[in-house]
Every structure is written in C-alpha cells, then in structure tokens.
Structure 1
Amino acid sequence: METIQKYREYVCTSFVAAVEPVVVERASGATVVDTSGREYIDCFAGIAVTNAGHCHPKVVAAAKAQADKLVHAASYVYHVPVVADLAERLAQITPGALKKTFFGNSGAEGIETALRMAKAYTGRNEFIALTHSFHGRTVGTLSVTGNMLRKKRGGPYLPGVAFAPAPYLYRNPFGTDDPEVLAQRCADMVEWAIKYQTSGNVAAFIAEPVLGEGGIIVPPANYFRYVKEVLDRYGILFIVDEVQSGFGRTGKLFAIEHYGVEPDIMVMAKGIADGFPLSACIARAEIADAFQPGEHLSTFGGNPVSCAAALANIEVMLEEDLPGQAARKGEQALAQLRELAAEHELIGDVRGLGLMIGVELVSDRRTKQPAAKQAAALRAYCREHGVLIGVGGQEGNVVRFQPPLTITWEQLERALTVFADGLRTVSRS
C-alpha cells in the first residue's frame, strides 16, 4: 500500500477516474504480477502497447545491448546506425509507397508531425477528421479529436478542422444497419464536410482504421475505399493513425491493410517497440522532404535504445506470426463473446478485428442507453478475479479486450470465463 499512498501524495492522477488498485512489480507475456505475488491475466496490454508480450526476451536483449553502447546521441544531429536501420525496416513493412520516417516519443508527437508535414507539402491548412476519434492530448491532436470527453476544459482549439460522422454501425445518424449503406453515406459526409465546413483549403483527412478510444469502432469494409475516392477528387492527403491499431493488433501488421487503400502518411506508436517509448511518422518521400530546415525536430526522437527494441519487436512479429495469432485468437474470442451477447441483454454490441475487441454495454437494448456503471463494475469484477481489462468509448460503456498477441489459448479461455461470470453477476445486481 506504500506505493498507492505515494501515488496519492506525489503523482498527478486527477485526470483519471481512478488508478487501478494493482501495484505492478513485474510482468511476462500476458501475465502481470503484483507486489504480493498475485498474478493477473493482462487483457489490456498497457493500452495496446505490449503486443509482443511483456518483457519479450528478444526485445529486452536488444534494448540492453544497445544501452551498453549508446543511449542518446541526438539522432537528428548525428547519424546513428540503429535509427537508419529501423527507418529502412519500416519502409519495407509498411503499405504502399511510404518511405521516410520521422521518429518521436509518443503517438501525439507522431500525429503533430503528420499534420505539420501535410501542411508543408500541400501548402494548405485545413483538416477533415471523424467524430468519436482520438488522436492525442496536445492542442493540435485534440483539435482533430472528435470526442467531447477528451476535449473538455482544454479549448479553445485550433481552427480549420471539420468533422464527418464516424462509420459507427451500432450508433449512426442515418438509421441504417446495413454496413454498405453506412460506408457510402459516411463517405458522402466526408465530401459534405469539405464542401460546407471548409474554405476548400484542406490538406488532409485523418482517421484511425479502427477507432480505439471511441469504443473499438470497426468501419465497414468499403468505407476507406469510398473515402479515398473523395480525397483523390480534391487532391487531399490521407493520414492514417495506426498508433493503437498497428503492429499486428487487428490480425494484419497494420489495420489499414484490411481496407485495400494506401495512405500518404502513417503514424505508429504504442506497439512499435513493445513498451519502449517511440513513435514513427512515415510518409511518401516527396511529402517527408517538404519540411525545410528549422521547421521540425525532436530532442529524444529516434532514441537508440527504443529503436533497437523496435527492430527486435518487428522481427518477433514476423518470426512468431503475431498478426496471424491475433487473427485466430480474435476470431475465437469474438465468437464466444457473441454467444454471450445472445444470452445477456446487457450486451448491446460485440465488434472488433483481431485482438482489438469492444463489447458495448447498454441498460436497454431498445434505446441503447449506455451502461457505464455496469462497465465499471464488470472491470472491477474481472480485476478482483485475476483479469485486467479496459473500458472506453464516448460514454465509458465499452469493455475493451486488447491483450498481448502472445496470450495463450488457456489464458484467453480463462479471461473469457471470468468475463462471462462477471456479466452474470453485474446483470443480477
């Protein structure tokens, strides 16, 4: 309890409803161990960060070896081999013609880079974003975030941002339950936003291929293809935010690969280095080269230790087929969760790709009234029974399953059993 008390006295945590009462001492794979020795199955992975599992031996070994040689050298002042190697590797594994990378420290820094890069290349200064989206907590990234709960008391935000409806099938303003109709209508609204909410000076459209903080919202299959047709008509760049959905999480190395379109700029973070702080903003060469001297920099960006961890992490992803593991395990988890939905009125919707899964809880299926209190109670039940899950969504009523992709079948089955038991308990109460 000493650590918890120190948190109360010295760590600023007023921005979260409550810090989980778990004092983490160590972790391995999908197992977290507290200071009393109690083990938990981690189904949140540090908010979808430790995709290759906690403390993967190859990743840790690579970071240790690099730390023995060089910890920091200002990677934009000097040439550092491991930074060059990682940039080359990202150009090889990312979709389309993405080639040149700017390294930062966080997803928000990566998104800020993408926004500035789009402005520099196009000479334009407006953006189109989606409702329910989340892109970071700086003023710039919150300006393109469509989520009131994340933005409150932080304004005024930057002008020049227009919003189109997220392709959220369970809750959409068009009254349709047809994914194809939704895809077309939402894409049409992107063009509507361009024509009626901007001055016609739009540099880029930014979107998450699966909206994470918004409640694990999975767009219909054709949505991004329709949107890309709109963007191409207006000469607008496509920025894809893979901060949370990247690195195997959705069953492919990058979630945008599910949709068959190529982004102009892509941002990665979270799962890129299996827990070491790093972000990457990769773009087509001509777009990245639009920056002029003095327009951008990051003191700690391209940290050699984090870059070494990221290189090892990529090799682990490919060698162990972690995207394939995520696809197979996610398919099983989704099937079981949908069976539970048939039994429990508390579940309004189950959705996801790979091991990026959301279970939306409602107190009334007819009205779709969000059940935030029940979601919090379910999270507490799971924690008390040895399973760590997340809760998100605009209304705080979406249970989030985002475990390390290395979670074993036995651990996954145990976690789903605890979740099912928790559902019964919370439903009764």
Structure 2
Amino acid sequence: MLGHVSNVYFHPKIHEYALRLTNTFPGDLKVVYFVNSGSEANDLAVLMARVYTKRHNIITLKNCYHGMTYQTMGLTSNTCYKYAVPQVSGIHNAMNPDVYRGLWGGAHCRDSPVQTSRICSCAESTCQAKDNYIGQLQEIFKFNISKGQLAAFFAESIQGVGGTVQFPKGYIKEAYELVKENGGVFVSDEVQTGFGRTGEHFWGFQMHGIEPDIVTMAKGIGNGFPLAAVVTRPEIAQALTSSSHFNTFGGNPLACTVGIAVLDIIEEEKLQKNSLEVGTYLLKELEKLKSKYPLIGDVRGKGLMIGVELVDNDEFNSPLDKERFFKVWEGCRDLGLLLGRGGIDGNVLRIKPPMCVTTEDADFTIKVLDAILKQVK
C-alpha cells in the first residue's frame, strides 16, 4: 500500500533517498522534488525558473526533446512531437550545434572516443565550430530577448531522442556563461545522460565543466519504475514556497525504496565504470563498421549512450530513406538485437542498453549489424 501513500505523509525512506540522491551532486544542488516522469520534471523546472527569476523567456536547442506535456511540448523542438494547437509563449530555439549535420563541425569537436569524418582546420585548443554556434546563440540575445530578460536555458548533455547528438567541446560551458550574463538559470536535462550512463561522470553536465542551477532526471532513476526528480539550489526552491506545490504520488515511499536500490546497484556493480569500458569498446567497434559500410555516416556518443546515423551513399550523406532504414532496424530485431530509433529524420540507430551489458553483448551487436548491413544496398 505504500505506493499509494502521498508524500505529504512523512516516511523515513523519502528522506533517506533525498539525501542519497543529492549527495551525488556537487555544490549547492541539495534540494530535491520528486515527480513521476521526465515530462513532469521538466514542466516543474519551467515553473521554478520563471517563479525564481520573475522572467518569462526560455531558450532551448533545435532538435531537442524535453517532454510531451503541453508546456514541455513547447520546449521540445521537433515537429514529430508537436500537436496542431497554439504553443506556449516565450520559448526560443537556438541553432543546434550538431558537428556532423550542422553548418560547422570537424574531426576534433567531440568529447568522445570517435569523431566525425569532416575536415578540421582548427588550431590546437581552438574550435571554430563551437565559436560559430555560440555566435548563433548570441544572435537570440541580439534579436529576440532583451539583455537580462532570460528565465532559463534548457539543454540535454547529449541530445537523446534527437539522435544522440553531441555538441562541440566548450559549447555548453560558454552557453552557461551567456545564460548567467542575461539573468537566467541553466537547466540540465539528465533524463537520458544521468546516473553514470556516459561513463566518465555520474552526471552528463560534469563532462561540460559546469554546475547547473536546476537538474531534471527520470528513466534510469527508477530502472523502469515510475520515478523522476528535479534537483536545485535552496534559493531557487525557496521561490516555490510563495504558493503551495505538491505531487500526489511523486516520491512515494515505494518509489524512494526503488530509487535507493538503483543507487546501491550502480555502486555495488560498478555500472558507471562498466558503461565507460563497454561503451568505449562498442564505439570503437562501430567505427570499424563505419569504414566498411558507406551506409554508416556517423558513429557518436560517450559511454553507453551511442548513436549510429545511417545515410544514403551520395555526396551529401542524405538521411537513409525509411524503407531501407526499417530493413536494418527490423532485421536487427529479427536477429535478437533491439535498438532505438531517433533523429529529426528518423535515421539514427539509438544504442542505449542496460548498463550491465558486457563486451560479449557488444560483440553480438556488431555481429548482427554486420550481417544486416551486408543485405542492404
């Protein structure tokens, strides 16, 4: 029955989990709100940001996905997830800093074991792609949002639904500085990148060298159980006390017990370390497949958050048509390999397996993809 008890009633497991979870965060990120899904978490983050800053404007990146409630549908920048209804106001979409498909990118842009095949002419310790994409973000402050009138900037540490898109090194850090200069809070969406999946860090934002103001999380937090959370600083949380806020089943005692068990298993089974080792191995093996099959335009990712973009074999690397993509996708399924699908054109294989997978599982993945790609002209 504890799963049906509102968190309005105090229970030791709620407090125990709140402490365990916030102890994984740096600095002053020590206040947590429990909800039930990633969409709910990002919806609450919008409210927090606007109440705290007393401002309305929010920036997200094109190609992003932040949920499917009415408000988070406005944050999301992908028409596949937008109904034909008036969208929420005050949302601005910046150019997506995609170093493979975007206007700028090179062979040294990513914080990843694998890179694009684009030519890079940057000097060491510089990134023209990053500078150009930051320039596009600055354009929003020049033409759309008056200085000091930003409420929040939302970003995934690596875009998930959008096709495992990684940004050029340094982009998020400079975007964070711009956000601060313009009075906003930085919201890191860790729904897919959190809990050690990227390998080197427990939270994806740590690879970018920032400490966000608000962090949202879901999916891996409960290993399939309906649980999500928003973590923030005390002064931002204090702003919500101007009115009453609660979530009936968010963070109920049963959900919190599940959350504690997930943290225990990640630690005891060293799943973050496993994500780094197996993920890096799989990425490098996928890169070898890329050199073998022109249909693979790009391999990207970090840890066990991996994307393989399939393209037509033409001079433009056009997205692979749906018919052939489905031959690959469903062919893998028929051989026992379940992969996700993503990207604005639906041509990216999303590989985000359980964090307990082994190198043998990685070898099986390569074997299946090799067999299927041979059959697709």
Asked whether 1:157 is paired with 2:87, we answer yes
Asked whether 1:395 is paired with 2:336, we answer no
- Counterpart of 2:112 in structure 1 is none
- Counterpart of 1:264 in structure 2 is 213
Q: 1:384 aligns with which of 326, 334, 349?
A: 334
Q: CA deviation at 1:91?
A: 1.3
The answer to whether the Cα contact below 8 Å between 1:375 and 1:391 also exists between their aligned partners in 2 is: no
- The C-alpha deviation readout for 1:112-153, integer Å capped at 9, x for no partner, is 0101001111111110110010000111111111112221x3
- The C-alpha deviation readout for 1:291-348, integer Å capped at 9, x for no partner, is 0354432111112211111111111112222111111111111111111111111011
- Counterpart of 1:228 in structure 2 is 176
- Counterpart of 1:348 in structure 2 is 297
Q: Percent of pairs identical after alignment?
A: 38
Instruction: Give, in whole Å, the separation in 2 of the partners of 1:227 and 1:405.
Output: 30
Q: 2:351 is aligned with what amino acid?
A: F
Taking only aligned residues, the RMSD between alpha carbons, in angstroms, comes to: 1.5
Instruction: Give, in whole Å, the separation in 2 of the partners of 1:406 and 1:172.
Output: 33
Q: 2:134 aligns with which of 187, 191, 216?
A: 187
Match of 2:240, SS?
A: coil
- The C-alpha deviation readout for 1:224-264, integer Å capped at 9, x for no partner, is 11112212212211000001111121112111111111100
Q: 2:195 is aligned with what amino acid?
A: F
- Counterpart of 2:114 in structure 1 is none
- The C-alpha deviation readout for 1:22-54, integer Å capped at 9, x for no partner, is xxxxxxxxxxxxxxxxxxxxxxxxxxxxxxxxx
Match of 2:131, SS?
A: helix
Asked whether 1:133 is paired with 2:64, we answer yes
1:54-93 → structure 2 map (5 Å cutoff):
70-75=2-7, 77-93=8-24
- Counterpart of 1:103 in structure 2 is 34
Match of 2:13, SS?
A: helix
- Counterpart of 1:209 in structure 2 is 157
- Counterpart of 2:96 in structure 1 is 166
- Counterpart of 1:285 in structure 2 is 234
Range with bigger deviation, 186-195 or 261-270:
186-195
Q: 1:194 is aligned with what amino acid?
A: F
- Counterpart of 1:32 in structure 2 is none
Q: CA deviation at 1:191?
A: 2.2
Instruction: Give, in whole Å, the separation in 1 of the partners of 2:60 and 2:252.
Output: 30
- The C-alpha deviation readout for 1:377-425, integer Å capped at 9, x for no partner, is 1111111111111111100000011100101221221122101111111
Q: CA deviation at 1:363?
A: 0.7
TM-score (norm. length: structure 1): 0.80
Range with bigger deviation, 153-162 or 240-249:
153-162
- Counterpart of 1:313 in structure 2 is 262
The answer to whether the Cα contact below 8 Å between 2:276 and 2:304 also exists between their aligned partners in 1 is: yes
Instruction: Give, in whole Å, the separation in 2 of the partners of 1:246 and 1:275.
Output: 14
The answer to whether the Cα contact below 8 Å between 1:392 and 1:400 also exists between their aligned partners in 2 is: yes
Instruction: Give, in whole Å, the separation in 2 of the partners of 1:365 and 1:357.
Output: 24
- Counterpart of 2:311 in structure 1 is 362
Match of 2:288, SS?
A: helix
Q: 2:271 aligns with which of 299, 302, 322?
A: 322
The answer to whether the Cα contact below 8 Å between 1:96 and 1:263 also exists between their aligned partners in 2 is: no
Match of 1:290, SS?
A: helix
Q: CA deviation at 1:177?
A: 6.1
Match of 1:416, SS?
A: helix
TM-score (norm. length: structure 2): 0.91
Q: CA deviation at 1:154?
A: 3.7
The answer to whether the Cα contact below 8 Å between 2:279 and 2:302 also exists between their aligned partners in 1 is: yes
Instruction: Give, in whole Å, the separation in 1 of the partners of 2:306 and 2:5.
Output: 39
Instruction: Give, in whole Å, the separation in 1 of the partners of 2:375 and 2:44.
Output: 46
**TM-aligned CA distance change 1:203 to 1:367, over 3 Å:** same
Q: How many equivalent pairs are there?
A: 357
- Counterpart of 2:122 in structure 1 is none
Instruction: Give, in whole Å, the separation in 2 of the partners of 1:372 and 1:284.
Output: 46
Match of 1:388, SS?
A: coil
